[in-house]
Structure formats: C-alpha cells, structure tokens
A and B are shown apart, each in its own frame.
Chain A
Amino acid sequence: MSDISRRDLLRRIGLTLMATGAIDRVSAQEVHHITLATQAAAGGAYTPKALNDHEYRTLEKLTDFIIPVENGKPGAVAAGAAAWIDMLVSENAQLKTVYTTGTAWLDAAMKKRGAEDFLSASAENQTALLDQIAYRRNSSLELDPGIQFFTWARRMTVDAFYTSEIGIADIDYRGNRPQMTYPEPTEAIAYALKRSGLA
C-alpha cells in the first residue's frame, strides 16, 4: 500500500475516532499491517546525494566491516546503512566534513601502507588498519583523526542498522504490535529470578 493510502486510512480512522470516540481493535491491527506493507514497498537502488562515488563505496565497505553478514544473516549493507548516512550527510554540513575528510584519511593512511587506496587494499590490510583505529587505546597524533572518524562511522552504522527492519529483526525486538492480552512472561521471569539469586 502506498504511503498516501496508508495516510488515508489513518485519517479515516482518525475521523472515525473523532466522530464516535471509538474504533475497533481490528482496525487498529489493520494499521499495524499496513505500516509494515508500506515499508516493504519501499526500496530500490540508492543514488548518493552527498558523497561522490568513491567516498560512497568506501563508506559502504566500512559499514560492511562494522556490521558484517553473520551466519547468513544480513548486515549493514543489506540494511542500507550507507544510503541513510549519505542522506543525512546531504543535509548537514558538519556531517559532510566528517565523512569526506574521514574517507580521505582512510585512503591516505592506506597509501602509506603501500596500497592505492582503502577500497583496493587487500582485506588483510584493511583489517589491520581498522584494528588500529577501532580502539581509543591506540591513540596517537597520527591515528587520532582515524579513530575519531571511525567512532562516527561506527556509531551511525549501528544506529542505521538497528533502526532498519533487518536490524530490528536481528536484535529480536518483539513489540510495537497489538495484542488482545498481555501474557505474563513466565519463562523470562523464571530465568531472571534464578540467575539473580532472588528466586
């Protein structure tokens, strides 16, 4: 269902609510289903708005390292993390500076290690560089700009992934849906009591 017809339905339910003060629970459930369908209908290839092609592909590779495919479960690339970051970067000059200077730093650092740039370096060399800039304990005059950039990219990739449908499924969040009753989580309670020593 398109976004417009979803809005129409919500509006209709809204008007019903205003007119009668009530809608039935089936209608409420329908809204949940429709919002899901709207999301599924979205998609398609993304054209970068802010970063150039090289910067964008570098960012996408970085997001792949940060949240990779895990036992066949899709990661940040499938979740479109780079596209979402690029969209924000296109609207925020401060973020744009972070990502353009950051990807340039990665390329320059890789050049010093004998490769053309980050993207074309071997996986081994890419990992070796990331293993340095992914930890504050490696702080040095030389590495600090890389550490700072990686902190940004990691933070925003994590946000992008876990606010995507893929990430929400991955973390196994089960809420935001209507239920007729609220079942007592007996299994979870037994687990928590036993492990806390409060049983």
Chain B
Amino acid sequence: MTKVLADMGISVLLMEAGPMITPADFKEHMWPYQVPHRGAGAKGQAYTGGPTGFTYSATFGGAQLEGEPYTVAPGDDFRWFRSRVLGGRTNHYGRVTLRMAEYDFKPHTTDGLGFDWPISYADLAPYYDKAEEFIGVTGSREGIRSAPDGIFCPPAPMKAHDVLVQRSCAKLGIRAVAARQAVTTTARNGRPACHYCGQCGRGCVTASNYAASYVQIFPAIRTGKVKVLANSMARELITDASGKVSAVSYIDKTDGSQKQVRCRTVVLAASACESARLLLNSKSSRHPQGLANSSGKVGRYLMDTVGYSMSAMVPALSGMPHYNSDGYGSHVYVPWWLSDNHKTLNFPRGYHIEVGGGYGMPGIGSFVGVVNRTEGYGVRMKQAIRDEYGTSIGLSGRGEMIPNEQSYCEIDPEVKDRWGIPVLRFHWAWSDHELNQVRHMQQTFRAILEGMGGQVPTGGGRGGGRGTAQTTGMGATPGQQAPQTGQAGPQTGLPNAPAGQPTTGASAQRPGNPPAVADANRPPISTGGAIIHEVGTVRMGDDPRTSPLNKFSQAHEVKNLFVADAAPFVSNADKNPTHTIIALAWRTAEYLAEEMRKGNV
C-alpha cells in the first residue's frame, strides 16, 4: 500500500507500533552455538516452561506482549499473535502465496453458507498479477480449479521426502505440485535470486524472499515520499464536524506521551483485530458504537484457518545419503483436490496440505522424542538419533472456516493496556463444518503417510499451529521458517518426561483462560487464532447495513477511511491470506489515488 501510493507521488506517514527493523539484526546465517543460549531462551527458560529463542532477533512478537494483554470470554479459547515491528509478521511468516479461486469469492452462492464477496476473481486477478511480478513467487502452471495459476518464477527441484509425498498422493488420486512461495528464484528489482540457505524466517540478508519491510517499505522510503513514525501506538481516530477522520491520536512509546498527527486520509493496516480495535475505540457522540460501525459489524465474523497436523517416521528415509535439504522451506504442496465433489463430503469447504521434512538444522529439543523412546545413553542412543534424523515427514492441513455469530472480538469493558487503551475480548467457536473437515484430514493424512510406509504414532496428529515463537527444529515443519506451523516431528513430544520438564512454551503463551471442555469425539483442531490467519473483522460488502466497508475497502460512512489488512475479508478460503491482503491493498491504493485526484477524498 505504502509502496504503491509513494510510487504515485502521494506522501505517506507510516505509523508503526513497534521499532524500525534493521537488517543487521537478522540471524539468517548464524548457528545455534553463536547465540549464548542456543535457542533455549533467556535463562534457559525453554527448559522450565518458557518459549524458545533463536528464531529472529528483531522484535518477533507472540501472543503475550508485555503490558499489552487481551482477554478471552470464559469457556472460549483464542490466541492472538502480534508482531510489533516494521513489516510485522511478513518478516517471518511461512511465505505460502496462494490466489483465491473464482468460487472462493462466491461461497454463499456455492453452498448457501457464509457470505459472498462484493468482488469477483476477475476484479482481483490483475492485482495478483502485479503482486507476483513485483514480489517473485515460485510455482508451476497446473490448471487446477481450486488453485489458479499465477505469474511464477521457476520452482526449485523437489526434495526426497517431497517426492515420496507426491508419489503416495498419486496412489490416492491426489495431486501434489510445486510449492508457491514468496521467494524469488530470479533476480528482480535489484534483489538477487534466492541462495537456498533455508533460513527464510530469520531475515533474508539478500532480500530474496518477501517481507513488506525490505521488499516494499525500504524502497518506498527511498522515493522520498514516505516517513516512518516508529514506536507509535495508535489510540483513536479523531473525526471532524464533517464526519471525516482529521487526525490520529497515538502514544509515543519512547516517552509514553500522547500525541496527534493530522491527516487527509487514513489507511488502517494494523492487522485485522487491531484495526477493529482502533475503530471500536474511536467512539464519540457522533459515533457511539465506534467509527464506521453503524452496522454493528466491526469485530464480527472473525475467522482463522482450520489447522491440523500429523507426522510420521518414515523408515524408507533412514540411512539415506545426506544432502542439503534446506532450499526455501517447503518445495511441494497439495492444493484442494475435491472442489468438484463437495456433495459427497460431510463438510462444505476445502483445505490444502503443506509438507515438512528433511534434515533441519538441529536445535533445542530436536531429538527429545527419539531419546525418550530409546532411553539409555552412549553410542547406542547416538545411533538411534542418527537413524531417525531426517526421517520424519509432517503434513499440515490448512482449511476454510465458515464465519459464525459466536466468533468475534469486542472491547473488554474493564481491561486496559499499559497505555490506558481498552483491549480486545475474544469469543470463539468452531462448528461441525470445521470439525468434520479435520476428521477428513485425519483419514487422508494417515493414508498418505502409511502409503509410503510411514509409522504414525498412536494418537496421531494434533491441532496445528501455536501462535508462539518457533523452536528451531528437525525441519519436519511445513515451511520450516514459519512461526505459524509448529514442529511436526514426533521428536518434539515429551512422553513420560518428569514433571516440570521442558515444554516449548505453547501452554505458557495463553492468557488465563480455562481450556475448552474435553470431548472424546472432538478431533484435535487448532486453537482459534493459532494458525495466525485471523481475518474478517471489518468486512467489505455492498450493503452499509451489514458491512462496514465498500468493495474498495473504503468505509461506507467515512469517505477518507480505508482498511488494507485482512479485516475486509468476507470469507477465509483455504488460501493463506497474505497474497490476497497484498492484492486488495494494491487495488485499494489505486482507487484511493484516483479518488484523491478527483477531489472526493
């Protein structure tokens, strides 16, 4: 958004709630032994219940931010991962880059559930094109209905475990294709091609992979049109007598003082829930429910991605000649293959499969599973570690959730953050649509893994994602650089560990809230928010009575207010949201520039 506006000669003040990012802080090529705690976190906290470190040295983020809490309604469970740094979560996300399909824009028309978007694939396709050409996205043209082809740069060859997944899928009539990752494999806009070091999540020193910070914002700064106001926590939007936004009130985090900056137009891109929070907190006598919220829909229809993961030890990989399997994270993925067969399924929407495996960089906890199973010590234990290294293959399902009335965020009536800003309270419920989808993932993943001789542990998979800092693992992690996909390997479990033994922090990252009541028939599904694909809190739509934004992500009621993150999403297709966020923002930027030129904004 910033880049597109700056290129059109529009001056932008970019407000960032966290610090600037400096490439000198990247840990891309460092080794565990070059960091004092080697990833065990400050004070070795990974061993005593805290999160691990050694992923990223700039502000990484997490569900727990000091002084910036959120609350969850009693009985519900939700995790809200926030990253306060220039470029936010794009600095370390999984870089899976998928277009929404034509049918993804009209889900209600398709099956009577959820809502249609006010735009179609044809409206957004040109912006997917532009984004892919600018960013660089790997992939191959496949002509699959659920996964529209884009403008791809050449993908890297598949890894050994990718080929097993592909062949095993083929036996089941499922197609696995080259991964679509936001990593350029050709030189582009002054960025050299990927050098396949596999450390994408730790800050790319050559800017070969995509992050908003070094691919868009740094070049935008060089146009001279952009100024970054770091460490500025937006508090409220101020409106004038005409009902337009005239200023943003914010906290200068460097000294805690409250300041204001005047504006002609404001674009919110604070992440879906944070943008909703800002609107809900912008109350005045003219806007008693918050700004742009006469519909009462701000905060509503919050969605995340359905997550489920299963991994197996695959004996066929034991003793395989080692090779450098790093590449750029995942090189293969499985698009939804039953989009024409929904009538035969007991759930209405699809999912895709992300694949992990290979010889990952050893880290804290990488071998705890095999060691706990083998026990003993000495050469025999070491041989067991050697035999199992690189033999784990993990599959992660990423499915579509249907928006429901029980999943939303609102302002907590009592709790405020350290700056005195009222915080969000989350409500969350999965429905049978999602639970049945997970049951299908369970059966399918077991069939794929067992089809290559894989040994799925008893009890099998788990709800994927954690919304917490990632450990550096064995690499059996779909998109091994991605914080949103936890380690998939059986190595990470701690069966029979003594009380107080190390955990990787997932349980410690949740705000005080009782877990949902255990239900024996309920399949393991990710915690709401844990896949970090939260979307849809300020949705777009043609009817101002039911949607806060119009089809250009402009507020129906406030003409100089736009939203350019995932909040405008009407549905949450099984396509990781970043690509659609970028395409929508690009389209909104062009519309905004035109409206400014016409004098409408």
Q: Spell out A's residues near B (CB within 8 Å).
A: 7, 10-11, 13-15, 17-25, 28-29, 31-32, 35-36, 38-39, 65-68, 70, 84, 87-89, 91-92, 94-95, 130, 134-136, 148, 150-152, 154-156, 158-160, 162-165, 167-168, 171-185, 187-189, 191-193, 195-198
Contacts and interface: CB of A to CB of B under 8 A. Distances in A.
A140 B156 CA distance: 54
A192 B160 contact: yes
B447 interface: no
A23 B36 contact: no
Contact of B192 (A24, A38, A167): A24
Contacts of B44: 88-89, 91-92, 95
A36 B30 CA distance: 8
Given A28-B206, A176-B31, A193-B167, A94 B196 contact: no
Contacts of A196: 164, 167-168, 314, 316, 452-453
A60 to B, nearest CB: 14
Contacts of A17: 23, 205-207, 214, 218
Nearest to A9: B24
A151 B497 contact: yes
A-B pairs, top 8 by smallest CB distance, nearest first, are A14-B23, A88-B44, A175-B326, A196-B316, A178-B195, A184-B157, A11-B24, A163-B32
Nearest to B496: A136
B110 interface: no
Nearest to B168: A198
Interface residues of B, number: 97
Contacts of B377: 65-67, 130, 134, 150, 154
Interface of B is mostly: loop
B47 A173 contact: no
B359 interface: yes
Given A88-B37, A175-B361, A185-B159, A21 B191 contact: yes
Given A21-B219, A29-B195, A198-B171, 18 more contacts: A17-B207, A17-B218, A68-B378, A89-B44, A135-B375, A151-B501, A159-B38, A165-B33, A168-B362, A171-B362, A178-B197, A188-B160, A188-B320, A189-B160, A192-B161, A192-B316, A193-B163, A197-B453
Contacts of A94: 48, 500
A36 B33 CA distance: 10
A17 B197 CA distance: 18
B566 to A, nearest CB: 27
Interface of B: 22-26, 28-34, 36-40, 42-45, 47-48, 156-161, 163-164, 167-168, 171, 189-193, 195-199, 205-207, 214, 218-219, 221-222, 314-317, 319-328, 359-368, 371-372, 375-379, 381-382, 385-386, 389, 451-453, 496-498, 500-502
Contact of A38 (B34, B157, B501): B34
Nearest to A20: B190
Nearest to B206: A28
B228 to A, nearest CB: 12
Nearest to A180: B195
A189 B163 contact: yes
A163 B23 contact: no
B363 A163 contact: yes
Contacts of B38: 84, 159-160, 163
B205 A31 contact: yes
A174 B359 CA distance: 8
Contacts of A192: 160-161, 163-164, 316-317, 320
Question: Which of B192, B222, B362 neighbours the largest number of chain A CB atoms within 10 Å of its CB?
Answer: B362
Contacts of A84: 38
Contact of A179 (B37, B206, B324): B324
A150 B381 CA distance: 14
A107 B562 CA distance: 69
B24 A22 contact: no
B376 A135 contact: yes
B36 A87 contact: yes
Contacts of B317: 192, 195
Given A22-B207, A91-B43, A162-B366, A176 B198 contact: yes
A14 B29 contact: no
Contact of A35 (B31, B45, B195, B385): B31
Contact of A155 (B193, B324, B371): B371
B326 A188 contact: no
A70 B205 contact: no
Contacts of A68: 378-379
A154 B496 CA distance: 14
A182 B206 contact: no
19 contacts: A7-B24, A28-B206, A32-B29, A67-B377, A88-B37, A95-B47, A95-B48, A151-B498, A155-B501, A155-B502, A158-B385, A165-B33, A171-B386, A175-B324, A176-B199, A179-B324, A191-B321, A192-B160, A197-B453
Contacts of B451: 198
Question: Which of A15, A36, A191 neighbours the largest number of chain B CB atoms within 10 Å of its CB?
Answer: A191
A185 B325 contact: yes
Contacts of B221: 18
Contact of B222 (A21, A172, A198): A21
B456 to A, nearest CB: 15
B481 to A, nearest CB: 12
Given A66-B381, A171-B385, A134 B40 contact: no
Contacts of A134: 375-377
